[in-house]
Structure 1
Amino acid sequence: MPVLTRLVPSPVFVEIRPGALDALGGILADQRLSASGRIAVAISNGSGSVLRARLEPALPGADWYSVADGSLDSAVQLADDIRSGVHGGLYDTIVALGGGKIIDAAKYAAARLGLPLVSVPTNLAHDGICSPVSTLDNDAGRGSYGVPGPIGIVIDLDVVRAAPPRFVAAGIGDIVSNISACADWELSHAETGEPVDGLAVAMARSAGENLLRHPGNLQDRGFLTALAEALVLSGIAMNIAGSTRPSSGACHEISHALDVLYPKRSAQHGEQVGLGAAFASFLRGEHELTGLIVERLAYHGLPVTAAQIGFTEAEFTEAVHYAPNTRPGRFTILEHLDLSPSAIRDAYADYVQAVNS
């Protein structure tokens, strides 16, 4: 009998609207996720305290856990704290309230404890708000760990709009990079025979194309809604594919290389992958697409050259050359061209000239 359909792993609910944060308790109850209100809330040591003061009266059954940083050690500590907490780990769900580091640590902790996780981002810096991956700092630098995706997403557009603009704009770079990542996946299919999941590509690329051509800005509610929805779709695309392939190609390899080689100088993840996507598109000879990406990134104040994020031409060249080492076995335009450092330097010089022309 032919398979006529398939189950698509996705959040049970997605709430994207102004004021959603103040309705969090009601949302969890309505979704039958936590009628008792017994939840563990993971927050940062900084801005999380402000949100705790705002939400605590409406969540009387919640226990609050501070997360030091976005490291593997902090994620493990969070799991241990929740397990040995007031209720002995007997919670209905974990709520991750904060930026990407808090959400990634909480996703990992939830996986260790076998609890569902609700993602409540306070900015839109990257697609980790819905992805089945936790990116955490470790002794070797930074690692990606497979985890179950969030069971629910709650995004308060008022909270997001109040976040530092740089942390919101970075999400644009992460989503636009989907277009380059999908092109790399299709290149791998053509050159190596790697299977491509068409549904995951359609979802990830559509999210990127929508942001690439959206006329709004960071103060526009419609644009923020589109960005939030695109980040959710990108995460679901990775769930469908069972890997980060629809959202991570040469663009992310370059970003990971910058993180490894210059850990104290790396910029926002979304800023780096946006630049990586523009350069990777240029390497593929997609000059019209490169122009569109560069124009849209610049429109939102995102970097389009290495110098704009504090790297020299030589440093960026070194990162691009090192980039394939960050994802062994992944085939992108970088592995396909296998450029020498001098060829990368020349290609980047041509890219900069095209950007400035």
Structure 2
Amino acid sequence: MPVLTRLIPSPVVVDISRGALDDLAGLLADQRISSSGKLAVAISGGSGRTLRERLSPVLPGADWYEVADGTIDSAVKLADAIKGQRYDAVVALGGGKIIDVTKYAAARVGLPMVSVATNLAHDGICSPVATLDNDNGRGSYGVPTPIAMVIDLDVVREAPPRFIRSGIGDTVSNLSAIADWELSHEINGEPVDGLAAAMARTAGEAVLRHPGGVGDDTFLTVLAEALVLTGIAMSISGDTRPSSGACHEISHAFDLLHPQRAASHGEQVGLGAAFAMHLRGATESAGLIAEVLRRHELPVLPTEIGFTVDEFVEAVKYAPQTRPGRFTILEHLDLTPDQIRDAYADYAKTIRS
């Protein structure tokens, strides 16, 4: 009889709790990821050094590697450094740049990768994608999903609150991305993976509907779980469709058109999600997203992150070029600059009322 199920790529263990970092060595041994303790640990040159001092006594067999930045050159350099050293696994200890560099390096040398996130800025902490800067700007590279995911809420609390707010914007934007995926299915027949969509939507709704804030452990747990679920949703679908639509296209346009002025990823995609929902006529959903973003002190208007209305119109018009082949509400409507300007005026009026 055939097995009518499928295997889902996901971490073998996810630990989201206070003090999780202190039990990292035990977790890796218990899960048979590293019984010998022979690990390569990638850290930043800043906060990573402090964490190294804290963890060195409990990881005596580890070798530590400082990562300079989030470029593909740094990822290749890390891969070359750890190649042939007979490590059990590679551990990324830090934020998104460290994690993405380590994911790519581990994939390059064929080692399992453990993601130890020190902030909750975006869903890359557990995704099968490494986003790295290169000579042409920024690229996304397919990599295996982390074998283990560790988030210490005490460490997350020590990061600036803007990182948590960025993660909120990124997770809430799932709802716009799923709407774009469903639109593409309706118009173009693009297949929608129901399980991936359900997981990404559940993650977005959990954060959107939670009454807590950035200082609340319960809320931080829900946000961390939502980011992990979103990463797994991308692994299931095999691409970023569950979490990336018009919202991310608009954000990428800001990054490319104004690289020195771009705001955080989560701020831009949250704003993009609210506006995209408005474009598709989902006024109530757009209003709710904007209300939640405001409650968490995230921007809902481009002027709140330093962009003029003209620059926003330019970014929205340019946005489809950032993801050729991806169909969203922006490609569907194909608005002229004047139409975008009118839609924005209506959006701004609606969310203010």
Task: State the AA in 1 paired with 2:192.
Answer: V
For 2:129 and 2:113, how far apart are their aligned partners in 1? Answer: 13
For 2:303 and 2:41, how far apart are their aligned partners in 1? Answer: 39
Q: What RMSD in Å do the two structures reach over aligned CA positions?
A: 0.9
Do residues 77 (structure 1) and 80 (structure 2) align?
no
Do residues 138 (structure 1) and 142 (structure 2) align?
no
| Cα offsets for 1:158-211 (capped at 9, x unmatched) | 000111000111101000000000000000000000000000000000110111
Task: State the AA in 2 paired with 1:20.
Answer: A
Do residues 326 (structure 1) and 326 (structure 2) align?
no
TM-score (norm 2): 0.99
Task: State the AA in 2 paired with 1:39.
Answer: L
Task: State the AA in 2 paired with 1:4.
Answer: L
For 1:133 and 1:25, how far apart are their aligned partners in 2? Answer: 26
Task: State the AA in 2 paired with 1:37.
Answer: G
Aligned to 1:29: 29
For 2:88 and 2:3, how far apart are their aligned partners in 1? Answer: 35
Aligned to 1:243: 239
Aligned to 2:114: 118
Work out the number of aligned pairs and report it: 353
Aligned to 1:176: 172
1:58-77 equivalent positions in 2, closer than 5 A: 58-77=58-77
| Cα offsets for 1:204-235 (capped at 9, x unmatched) | 00110111000001111100000000000000
Report the alpha carbon displacement of residue 2 of structure 1 after superposing the two structures with TM. 5.8
For 2:314 and 2:82, how far apart are their aligned partners in 1? Answer: 42
Aligned to 2:350: 354
Report the alpha carbon displacement of residue 272 of structure 1 after superposing the two structures with TM. 0.7
Aligned to 1:105: 101
TM-score (norm 1): 0.98
For 1:269 and 1:324, how far apart are their aligned partners in 2? Answer: 17
Report the alpha carbon displacement of residue 82 of structure 1 after superposing the two structures with TM. 1.5
Aligned to 2:341: 345
Secondary structure at the residue paired with 1:252?
Answer: helix
Secondary structure at the residue paired with 2:130?
Answer: strand
1:1-357 equivalent positions in 2, closer than 5 A: 4-83=4-83, 88-357=84-353
Task: State the AA in 1 paired with 2:29.
Answer: A
Report the alpha carbon displacement of residue 350 of structure 1 after superposing the two structures with TM. 1.3
For 2:2 and 2:200, how far apart are their aligned partners in 1? Answer: 27
For 2:208 and 2:164, how far apart are their aligned partners in 1? Answer: 15
For 1:62 and 1:238, how far apart are their aligned partners in 2? Answer: 31
| Cα offsets for 1:288-345 (capped at 9, x unmatched) | 0001100101111111110111111111111111110111000000000000111111
For 1:258 and 1:11, how far apart are their aligned partners in 2? Answer: 33
Report the alpha carbon displacement of residue 3 of structure 1 after superposing the two structures with TM. 5.3
For 1:218 and 1:46, how far apart are their aligned partners in 2? Answer: 23
For 2:291 and 2:74, how far apart are their aligned partners in 1? Answer: 38
For 1:36 and 1:219, how far apart are their aligned partners in 2? Answer: 37
For 1:102 and 1:196, how far apart are their aligned partners in 2? Answer: 31
Secondary structure at the residue paired with 1:202?
Answer: helix
Task: State the AA in 2 paired with 1:128.
Answer: G
Report the alpha carbon displacement of residue 238 of structure 1 after superposing the two structures with TM. 0.3
Task: State the AA in 1 paired with 2:25.
Answer: G
**Poorly superposed stretches of 4+, deviation over 4 Å:** none
Task: State the AA in 2 paired with 1:79.
Answer: A
Identity within the alignment, %:
73
For 2:349 and 2:171, how far apart are their aligned partners in 1? Answer: 25
| Cα offsets for 1:69-109 (capped at 9, x unmatched) | 111111111111222xxxx3310000000000000000000
